[in-house]
Chains A and B, each alone.
Chain A
Amino acid sequence: MTKTKVDIDNEIQWCPGCGNFSILKSMENAFTALGLEPKDLLIVSGIGQAGKTPNYMECNMLHGLHGRALPLATGAKIANSDLNIIVNTGDGDCYGEGGNHFLAAIRRNIDITVLIHNNRVYGLTKGQASPTAAFGMKTKHQNRGTISSSFNPAATALVMGAGFIAQGFSGNMKQLEYLIVEAINFKGFSMVDIHQPCVSFNKINTHSWYKSRVFDLNDTDHDYSNYENALQTVHNKNHKIPLGIIYKKPGVPFHERLDVLKKQPLLKYKFDGAQLENILTTAV
């Protein structure tokens, strides 16, 4: 088995101390645990610090536009449902620029795993507030504090009917690796919203800030198969951050909703000119 490793001829551009290093490492460990080799992996990404991720791994890669990783991944999965597709995206990329696609991907239950690097700021454009920034958070560009309330990804995903919702933390790699493995193993749309500090631009939600707020759902009586339970967890009133699988309920993924894709991947059908000609000329 080839271990997925950081590509040596591509210098990693993240700031020293960035949570992305832990996410990258957790991904590697998860792929190794699953026996996934680089040739078995398609990593699709958007734009932002998170979008750079596949550049630093051995994998097949489609590094697209800001906010558009999900439609790219959706198209690739429809073309070839055998693909193992992982999406690396950020809070701005996925919930801001690509918010519409986030909702649509859940509705389609497209069988991909989405890893959202959520640090509550736009790290690549120097620290503007992202949709997950707390209401009133001050930044250079929101110098009187944000005037929009914060976006709740897990709650949104839950009410939209997502089948696998987890929250991870870059400061807890062991658990993150487990969550990534579980997400990839899940048949259907799976997301891991990964809390991480931004050492350069987020002076509020620091590593220690997270440390004092996170707790493991495994240490509670949380039942991830119970919707009501999950609903209470995502509406956490005591400002603590639950980590782990919030909700898990398998449904029929997109490629099993269509007969043509159920039979075999779209890519694999043979071109049959004679049959095509017959169909096109008779059905006037």
Chain B
Amino acid sequence: MVQDISILIGGAAGQGIQTIGALLARVCNNAGLFIFSVDDFESRIRGGHSFHLLRISTQALTAPCFKPDILVALDEKTHEYHKDTVSSNGITILNSDENKKEKSDIYHIPLELLAEQAGGKIASNTVAAGAVLAVIGAAFKDLEHVLKEQFMNRGKAVLELNLKAGKSGCEIGKKINFPLSLDFNPVQHQNIVMTGAKAAALGALAADCRFFPFYPMSPGTPIISNLAKYADQLPMVIEQAEDEIAAVNMAIGASFAGVRSMTSTSGGGFCLMIEGLGLAGMTETPIVIINAQRPGPATGLATRTAQADLLFTINASQDEFPRFVFAPGGVIETFFAVKKAFFLSEKYQVPSIVLMDQFLVDSAKTESDIFKIGNEHESFLDKETKVYQSESYLRYKITETGISPRRIPCNSEALVRASGNEHTQKGLSFEEPENRNIMMEKRFKKFVLMQQEMSLPQVFHDQSSFFLTAWGSSKGSVIEAGLKMRKEGINVGWIIFEDIWPLDFDKLKSVLKNRKLVIVEGNATCQLGSLIRQQTGIDYFSSVLKYDGRPIYPEYIIKEIRQTMGQ
């Protein structure tokens, strides 16, 4: 039987909420259980209210659950905020020194006091982790193993303290009555728990990206943080630029010189990069930009999530040039999307943008696919051995595909000239109207070929009476909501866009025609719906929109659908 338990751990920033979540995730992973977690936090380092939502299951998960079976309240505020969301069989563990019990499902545990008895207040998170694990059926030895790994290099005293604290937590947790239980016997498996941020970082490395200029901006920064730990082992440079404008221009400069480059930011920083994006378009220099969306405009909600940069990303920059836009639907999807973004950016000499968001960046998920990186690496630089006499090489040579042979500077006699001004085939600035037309047409010749590289959205449950239609990180919640509704007898299917731009719009039209589309996305104006209407002439039936800065949970979709469909 499928077991599925959700846990909400909440408290003030700085209380170590994520530490507890990470310990639980590791113990679960050792037992071959699947997790999905997401962080919800304020734009502050101390205080306020944050929480970590962790879902554990015996089968693979696609979405978080906002109805916790166990509420772990590190402070009273968390209890106040979330007590009404606890599921009917759920329990609450309240961090409290008061030895009282006003309700049977609320357990007061003095976490700090127990940690102090174990040797130090600092280990109160380990007490909490131990207690929760015991509640859901784990034994101390399951936690012991993970603690030893985690604190191995931190000295004997720290390890001893945490082992004692974990044990103390387990003992108290065992006494708590809880109806659900998981099997924690260790199993052999190749699963890994990974965040969207890490998947993006690994995708870039797998694509041989070696240069990462960036300017810090939530939630784009964790992608760079995940790269930093490989900096000593792999040929790569991470450079904090003076601003986002510098970051994107550095990426262009490095790519022009022959090194694959990527930068990561959020909407505000992406705004600053747009002129640079145009330069990449005009000079036909491959670069990859990750735009991890957050609500705006301006500073908006700095640490929250949104899907409101879709049309902006497709259209960003003055005038027109071809580009690729991807919006991976989940963690492993992100790894492959970033790889593909590099591959196609290099092949067509155009910029690629990968749309993520805070929810996807901070989602941790158990993935069972293993990353395979071939030893052969495809280069799209000019493979011709032709020897050019100085100015006879044409960087922007007119070809049938619009793709010109790309060389890197100072590598041969061929002089490589790139320009953000309209230019001749040689790359020199030139303003004549005929040349302008030829060059515009050259760049746009690539567009039709680019369309064929992108996957059309798949239709699930083809004969359904309506279709949840979504893009990017809403994928997981849409699938879970769809499956739940189908179980209830609702004839619903779903269509998810992950390759966003450019699609073959004629083919897209035949995929979508005669279907009742209910658009599900994280913005206020139904941007995917507008895009579909603009490109295919097909109008959507209705929409489920969310723009409060929080993820789209499956329960939210189901509730909204019930209202709009009158069911």
Interface residues of A (CB under 8 A from B): 2, 7, 9-10, 38-42, 44, 47, 52, 54-55, 58-65, 68, 70-80, 82-84, 100-101, 103-104, 258-261, 266-267, 269, 271-274, 276-277, 279-281, 283-284
25 A-B pairs with CB atoms under 8 Å apart are A9-B426, A39-B414, A52-B429, A58-B391, A63-B418, A63-B420, A63-B429, A65-B276, A68-B246, A68-B275, A71-B246, A75-B254, A78-B253, A79-B210, A79-B253, A79-B257, A79-B261, A82-B410, A83-B257, A260-B231, A266-B237, A271-B377, A272-B375, A276-B206, A284-B193
Question: Which of A39, A63, A68, A104 interacts with B419 by CB under 8 Å?
Answer: A63
Q: In the bound complex, what is the Cα–Cα distance between A38 and B393 (angstroms)?
A: 13
- Asked if B253 and A41 sit within 8 Å, CB to CB, the answer is no
Q: Decide if A2 touches B257 in the complex (CB within 8 Å).
A: no
With contacts defined as CB atoms under 8 Å apart, how many contacts are there between chain A and chain B in the complex? 197
Residues of B within 8 A of A (CB): 192-194, 202, 205-206, 208, 210-211, 213, 229-237, 239, 241-243, 245-247, 249-259, 261, 275-276, 279, 283, 370-377, 390-391, 408-410, 412-421, 426-430
A79 partner residues in chain B, CB cutoff 8 A: 210-211, 253-255, 257-259, 261
**B residues less than 8 Å from A71 (CB atoms):** 213, 241, 245-247, 249-250, 253
In the assembled complex, the Cα of A61 lies from the Cα of B250 at a distance in Å of 15
A267 & B246 in contact (Cβ 8 Å cutoff): no
Task: Please name all residues of chain B whose beta carbon is closer than 8 Å to the beta carbon of A64 when the two chains form the complex.
Answer: 249, 252, 279, 283, 420
Residues in B with CB closer than 8 Å to A259 are: 232
> CB distance B410 to A75 under 8 Å?
no
Q: Tell whether A61 pairs with B417 under 8 Å between CB atoms, given A42-B410, A104-B241.
A: yes
Which residue on chain B has the smallest CB distance to residue A103? B242
A60 contacts which of B233, B236, B409 (Cβ < 8 Å)? B409
User: In the complex, which residue of chain A has the Cβ closest to the Cβ of B190?
Assistant: A281
Q: In the complex the two chains form, is A276's CB within 8 Å of B205's CB?
A: yes
Instruction: Give A10's nearest chain B residue, CB to CB.
Output: B428
Q: Are A271 and B250 in contact (CB under 8 A)?
A: no
CB distance from B383 to the nearest CB of A (A): 16
With A80-B257, A259-B232, A272-B375 given, name 9 new contacts (CB 8 A). A39-B390, A63-B429, A64-B283, A68-B275, A75-B252, A75-B256, A266-B210, A267-B408, A273-B373
Task: Tell me whether A100 and B246 are in contact (CB under 8 A).
Answer: yes
Q: Which residues of A contact B202 (CB under 8 A)?
A: 280
Is the pair B211, A59 in contact by a Cβ cutoff of 8 Å?
no
**Known contacts A2-B390, A73-B253, A276-B373, A100 near B428 by CB under 8 Å:** no
**Cβ of B257: which chain A residues have Cβ within 8 Å of it?**
42, 75-77, 79-80, 83, 267
The reply to whether B246 and A104 form a contact with Cβ atoms under 8 Å apart is yes
Contact A65 B246 (CB under 8 A): no
Residues of B within 8 A of A84 (CB): 410
A75→B371 CA distance, assembly (Å): 29
Cβ of A273 and Cβ of B376 under 8 Å apart?
A: yes
CB contact between B374 and one of A40, A273, A280 (< 8 Å): that residue: A273
B258 & A78 in contact (Cβ 8 Å cutoff): no
Q: How far is A145 from B231 in the complex, measured between Cα atoms in Å?
A: 52
Q: Name the distance in Å between A54's Cβ and chain B's nearest Cβ.
A: 8
Q: CB within 8 A of B371: which of A65, A100, A271, A280?
A: A280
The reply to whether B410 and A80 form a contact with Cβ atoms under 8 Å apart is yes
> Which residues on the B side are within 8 Å of A7 (C-beta)?
391, 428
The answer to whether B413 and A39 touch across the interface, beta carbons within 8 angstroms, is: yes
A54 / chain B contacts, CB cutoff of 8 Å: 417
Assess the A63–B421 pair: CB atoms within 8 A.
yes
**Roughly how many angstroms separate A72 CA and B246 CA in the complex, as a whole number?**
8
Report chain B residues within 8 Å CB of A47.
Answer: 420
- Inter-chain CA distance A65–B273, complex, in Å, is 12
Nearest CB to that of B192 among chain A residues?
A284
Is there an interface contact between B210 and A269, defined as CB atoms closer than 8 Å?
Answer: yes
B283 & A62 in contact (Cβ 8 Å cutoff): yes
Counting chain A CB atoms within 10 Å of each CB, the highest count among B230, B235, B414 belongs to B235
A72 to B409, CA, bound (A): 13
B428 surroundings in chain A (CB, below 8 A): 7, 9-10, 55
Q: Assuming A64-B279, A64-B420, A72-B252, is B246 touching A269 (CB within 8 A)?
A: no
Q: Which residue of A lies closest to B423 (CB)?
A: A63
What is the minimal beta-carbon distance from A64 to any residue of chain B, in angstroms? 5
Of A40, A52, A100, A258, the contact of B410 (CB 8 Å cutoff): A40
B37 to chain A, nearest CB (A): 15
A280 to B209, CA, bound (A): 14
Contacts of B229 in A (CB 8 A): 283
CB contacts (< 8 Å) of B241 on chain A: these are: 71, 104
Contacts of B193 in A (CB 8 A): 284
CB distance from A169 to the nearest CB of B (A): 27
A154 to B469 Cα, complex, angstroms = 59
Q: Which of B412, B418, B429 contacts A39 (CB 8 A)?
A: B412
| C-alpha spacing A272/B376, complex, angstroms | 8
Instruction: State whether B235 touches A60 (Cβ < 8 A).
Output: no
Distance between A262 CB and nearest chain B CB, rounded to angstroms:
12
A25 CB to nearest B CB, Å: 19
**Among A9, A39, A63, A76, contact of B253 (Cβ-Cβ < 8 Å):** A76
Contacts of B376 in A (CB 8 A): 273
CB-defined contacts of B242 to chain A, threshold 8 Å = 100-101, 103-104
From B231, B275, B276, B427, A61 is in contact (CB under 8 Å) with B427
CA distance A40 to B252 in the complex (A): 20
Cβ of A40: which chain B residues have Cβ within 8 Å of it?
A: 410
Partner of A277, one of B246, B254, B275, B372: B372
Least Cβ–Cβ distance between B258 and chain A, in angstroms: 5
Given contacts A75-B251, A79-B258, contact A39 B415 (CB under 8 A): yes
| Cβ-defined contact, B236 with A260, below 8 A | yes
Within the complex, the shortest CB–CB distance from B65 to chain A, in Å, comes to 25
Given contacts A68-B249, A72-B250, A266-B211, contact A61 B373 (CB under 8 A): no
